[in-house]
Each structure stands twice: as C-alpha cells, then as structure tokens.
C-alpha cells in the first residue's frame, strides 16, 4: 500500500526508446515527489520493446518483460498502459485497442495515431469508461493540453498557433544566424540528433500538422481532421529570404495555425514571416511555443522544450499523476457525441499579407509587367526592394503586399512565373498578423 493508504497505480510501458527510458528514470529519480503529488505510489510492473538486451541506463531486470506490446496491454498487471512506440497504425494501434478492450487507462505520446484516429479512439475509450491522456503528444514538455482543456475551459478559443516542431525551428534559427543553406544545417541537425536520418516528417511539416490537428480538435471542440490540414515544409526557405525578412522587420518560423472562420475550420502549417516584436519571434533553436487566444483571457503564451527524454517524460508523468488522483476529463474536452464536425475552410480563402521574392532579368519594363499582373488580381503592394543594377543580368526583387486573398495571390504568381524575364519560380512566404 502507498503512504496515503491507497494501492499503488500500476503501469506498463510499451516502448523503451529515448522517451520510454526517460519515463523510467523520472519515476525512479522523483519517486517520493511523484507519490506525494499523486496521493499514492506509481509503480512500473511490465515493459515491452524490440530489444531486451539493449543498455538503457536503468535496471529493468525486475520488471515483467513482454516481446509483444499488444499482449502486454491485454495481459499485464497494470491499471494504465503507457504507449511510447509511435506510428499511426500497426503495433501502436493494437496496443491502444487492447488496453481499451481490457478497461485499462491509456497515456500516449503518439501524435500521429491521435491525428489520424483520435476521434475513433476517444469514442472507444469513452464507451469503455477509460481515460485517453496525451499531454506528451503535443509540444513535449509544455503543458499545453492541460492549459487549453482545463485552464482556458471558460473561454471560447478564437485562434491557436505555434512553433510545433523543434527540428524545423533549429534549422531556421541556424540558417539565419550562420547564413548557411538548408541542406548543410539539416546535416548538422542530424549529427546532433535533432533530425532523423529520414527528416521528411519534420522538415515537410507533417509532424507539426499531426500536432496541430490534435490541438485544434481540443481548442475548438471538433472531431480530429488531419486531412483538413494544409501542409508545407521549409525546404524552399533560403538564407536570402531570412536576410530579407530581418530587413523588413520579420523572422521566419514554421507555424501551425488553426482558427474557426465563417467558412469553417482553418488548419494550416507553413513557413510564416512573424513580426520581430512578437514573443514567438524570439523562440529559437529546438524550443516550441504555443499561443492560445481566448475571448476573455486574451493571449496565453506557452514556451518550452518540445521533444527529448526529459520534457516528454515530464508530460507523461503529469498524466499519470492525474490518473492516480482520479482526475479525468473527456479526451477532447467534451464527450465525443458533442464534438462538432465543421467544414474545412480551404487554403484559397486565407486572407493576409505576403512576401514575394522574384529573380528577374534587369531590363526596362520588367517591374511594370509584374505590377500590372498584381493590379489585375487586385493585389496591393506595400513595399518593393531591389538591390543594385545589373542590366540584362538576373537580380532579386522583393515585394510585400497588403492583405489579399490566397487564390488571387496564387493566380498572380502563376502568371508572373510564366514571364520569360523571370528566371526561377517565385518564392512566396505568408506574413502572419499575430
């Protein structure tokens, strides 16, 4: 029995990679502190991973070992199954299905699984009377799920946005500071362990989109709709763009943005130019940040490490302590039957300002041709930068616009790209009013 007279909360952990080992270390290191805050001890009874012999820096010899994580979820002597395997289907899904079927609570860090199957999993968990907790799935060590679901529960959320991927933020930070190209900085990030051998999920925006879909469902009380997220990555951002951004008073960040509009739920992940004076512009390297806008609270800003053993284990522990205290809330803030299913506002309806960089042959009439196209599409220019003169040579021309419609902007860029004196595809980055 625990010191509080209650039986311990027994847990089983599926996945003993960086995060799984981190959870074991946190529970061992902070054992007494966790027990006091949980009202009873939290005890690991069973574990499962691919390699039993691997040195994880912590003794697992006294724990029951399962080669099959789904079998562990079904058979282990545990009140809670902690799923840290990852992946949107396969063994991770089988683990959660087995846990729900056996009436065991779930703590997961799996944003991909929640983004693709969150509504169905929440419905199954609710029907079985078990909790589905996922603080670790979005923004790592930042307690943003609890903050939005509980701390801001009295507010209508009008917009939620943030830097949701530390790898991209690190790459953009280092590109800006060093002037080096994307590929070079990515290689360094891989050596440092900030990026995977295949970095596509990170640099192409998919990881951030998974997190945004989950966060939007919670913020707006909707079913999870990953397919409704517009996704762009950072491969096309150059040091030149970062330099111009600084000159114009901006910094480039990969943001996830969600808001409810008159056309439906807008969800988008893409590089943005954000004003230098905004708090999110100063969030650098591998740090994440989330901003939630409430109709009574205004802006709430949350910043911290978004990944890694310690921060993610911290989030897992927070969910375990809630379960030990019998603090439970619906997965997405309200019962599943009350989740809305709004239409998705298409990207073409986005209204805002734009940064455009063109590489053009410096000859008379070029700027007139470009501005004529913008005029035809009702795109109003705010500023234009042109460096030097090199007659009949290619030079950069940078334009910024006033607020305009995305569809009109795309039509204009398509027409401009077709000009013979435009030497490469136009580069456009949306300017975000924060």
Distance, CA of 362 to CA of 393 (rounded, Å): 6
Q: Give the H or E element holding residue 396.
A: strand 394-401
Distance, CA of 131 to CA of 153 (rounded, Å): 18
Closest CA to 26 of 2, 58, 55, 4: 58
Q: Is 17 exposed, middle or buried (0-12, 13-18, 19+ CB in 10 A)?
A: middle
Instruction: State how beta strands 287-294 and 394-401 pair.
Output: unpaired
Both tokens assigned to 12: 């089983």
Q: What is the DSSP string of 166-231?
A: HHHHHHHHHHHHH---HHHHHHHHHHTTSS-SS-HHHHTSHHHHHHHHHHHHHHHTB---GGGEEE
Q: How far out from the chain centre does Cα 50 lie?
A: 27
Q: What is the DSSP string of 360-375?
A: EE--TTHHHHHHHHHH
Write b or e for each residue in 85-124: b if 16 or more Cβ atoms lie within 10 A of its Cβ, otherwise e.
bbebeebbbbbbbbbbeeebbbbbbbbbbbbbbbbebbbb
Distance, CA of 395 to CA of 240 (rounded, Å): 12
Distance, CA of 211 to CA of 47 (rounded, Å): 26
Q: Give the H or E element holding residue 149.
A: none
211 is catalytic: yes
DSSP 3-state assignment of 327? coil
Residues 361, 367, 369: CA angle, nearest 5 degrees: 100
Residue 255 near residue 161 (C-beta atoms within 8 A): yes
Beta bridge partners, 351, equal 405
Question: Quick count: other Cβ atoms within 10 Å of Cβ 218?
Answer: 24
Catalytic pick from 104, 111, 146, 211?
A: 211
Residues labelled catalytic: 211
């Amino acid at each position: 029995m625990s010191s509080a007279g209650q039986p311990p909360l027994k847990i089983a952990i599926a996945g003993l990679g960086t995060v799984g080992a981190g959870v074991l270390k946190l529970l061992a290191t902070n054992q007494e502190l966790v027990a006091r805050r949980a009202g009873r001890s939290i005890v690991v009874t069973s574990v499962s991973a691919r390699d039993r012999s691997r040195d994880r820096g912590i003794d697992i010899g006294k724990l029951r070992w399962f080669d099959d994580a789904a079998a562990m979820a079904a058979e282990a002597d545990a009140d809670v199954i902690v799923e840290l395997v990852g992946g949107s289907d396969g063994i991770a899904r089988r683990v959660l299905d087995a846990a729900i079927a056996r009436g065991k609570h779930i703590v997961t860090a799996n944003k991909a699984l929640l983004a693709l199957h969150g509504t169905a999993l929440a419905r199954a968990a609710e029907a079985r009377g078990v909790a589905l907790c996922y603080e670790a799935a979005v923004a790592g060590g930042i307690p943003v799920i609890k903050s939005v679901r509980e701390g801001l529960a009295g507010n209508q959320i009008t917009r939620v946005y943030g830097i949701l991927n530390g790898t991209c933020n690190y790459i953009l930070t280092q590109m800006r500071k060093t002037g080096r190209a994307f590929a070079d900085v990515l290689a360094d990030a891989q050596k440092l362990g900030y990026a995977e051998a295949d970095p596509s999920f990170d640099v192409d925006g998919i990881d951030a989109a998974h997190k945004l879909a989950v966060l939007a469902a919670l913020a707006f009380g909707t079913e999870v709709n990953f397919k409704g997220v517009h996704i762009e990555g950072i491969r096309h951002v150059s040091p030149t763009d970062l330099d111009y951004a600084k000159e114009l008073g901006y910094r480039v960040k990969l943001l996830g943005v969600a808001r409810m509009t008159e056309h439906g739920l807008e969800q988008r992940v893409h590089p943005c130019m954000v004003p230098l004076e905004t708090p999110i512009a100063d969030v650098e390297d591998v740090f994440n940040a989330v901003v939630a806008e409430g109709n009574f609270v205004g802006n709430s800003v949350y910043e911290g490490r978004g990944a890694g053993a310690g921060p993610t284990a911290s989030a897992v522990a927070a969910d375990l302590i809630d379960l030990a205290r019998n603090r439970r809330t619906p997965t997405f803030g309200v019962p599943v039957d009350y989740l809305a299913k709004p239409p998705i506002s298409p990207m073409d309806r986005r209204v805002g300002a734009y940064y455009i960089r063109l590489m053009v042959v410096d000859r008379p009439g070029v700027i007139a041709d470009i501005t004529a196209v913008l005029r035809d599409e009702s795109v109003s220019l705010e500023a234009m930068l042109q460096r030097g003169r090199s007659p009949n040579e290619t030079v950069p021309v940078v334009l910024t616009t006033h607020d305009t419609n995305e569809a009109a902007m795309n039509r204009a860029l398509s027409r401009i790209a077709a000009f013979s004196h435009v030497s490469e595809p136009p580069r456009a980055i949306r300017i975000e009013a924060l």
